[in-house]
């Protein structure tokens, strides 16, 4: 859930709570519960999905950006907490992808121009283009990777 808001002042408390609940509180509780169960079972891999907005916040995404930055911090801290029981915790930081959630933004040609302008590949991503990263983090190929945020963004310039 990543709604745009015209300003921080115009972000209602209800919208603030919903964005934080979906993007930070939910993953926090799931990480605690799944990490504990995975540890009891001998190990596992937790993969959080973050956003480039966590690194590049804008006035229209203030609360969402803050929640996703918190998710990145949750990833790093949880990786330390659950490593002793064999659970790895990593994160995929996504740029703009052509999903239902982004349809309103990427469907607007004026907004889309501003989104793809800083992207080296000059387009938004397709959902299947993040699958390989997630499979890597879920597999034993990444057995020495934990607490890491992997960015998949088409080459967004800093």
> Number of helices (H) and strands (E), helices first, in the chain?
6, 3
Enclosing domain of residue 92: 13-152
Domain presence at residue 114: yes
**Residues with catalytic function:** 64
pLDDT in tens, 93-112: 999 898 887 777 777 787 77
Domain presence at residue 28: yes
Domain presence at residue 121: yes
Domain presence at residue 127: yes
- Which token pair is 33? 């519960």
Cβ atoms of 30 and 47 within 8 Å: the answer is: no
Domain presence at residue 67: yes
Q: In angstroms, rounded to a whole number, what is the distance separating the alpha carbons of residues 19 and 51?
A: 13
Domain presence at residue 92: yes
pLDDT in tens, 47-85: 999 999 999 998 888 999 999 999 999 999 999 999 999
**Number of domains into which the chain is organized:** 1
E strand or H helix at 62, and its extent? helix 62-82
Taking the model in full, what pTM does it have? 0.92
Specify the CATH number for the domain of residue 29: 3.40.50.720
Domain presence at residue 1: no
Q: Which residue has the higher pLDDT, 23 or 118?
A: 23
């Amino acid at each position: 859930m990543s709604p745009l808001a015209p300003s921080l002042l115009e972000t209602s408390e209800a919208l603030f709570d919903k964005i934080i609940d979906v993007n930070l509180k939910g993953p926090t509780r799931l990480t605690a519960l799944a990490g504990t169960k995975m540890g009891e079972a001998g190990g596992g891999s937790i993969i959080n999905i973050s956003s480039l907005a966590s690194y590049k916040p804008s006035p229209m995404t203030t609360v969402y950006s803050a929640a996703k930055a918190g998710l990145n911090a949750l990833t790093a801290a949880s990786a330390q907490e659950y490593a002793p029981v064999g659970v790895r915790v990593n994160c995929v930081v996504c740029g703009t992808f052509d999903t239902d959630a982004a349809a309103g933004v990427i469907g607007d040609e004026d907004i889309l121009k501003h989104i793809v302008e800083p992207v080296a590949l000059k387009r938004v991503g397709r959902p299947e283009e993040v699958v390989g990263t997630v499979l890597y983090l879920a597999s034993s190929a990444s057995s020495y990777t934990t607490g890491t945020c992997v960015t998949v963004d088409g080459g967004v310039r800093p």
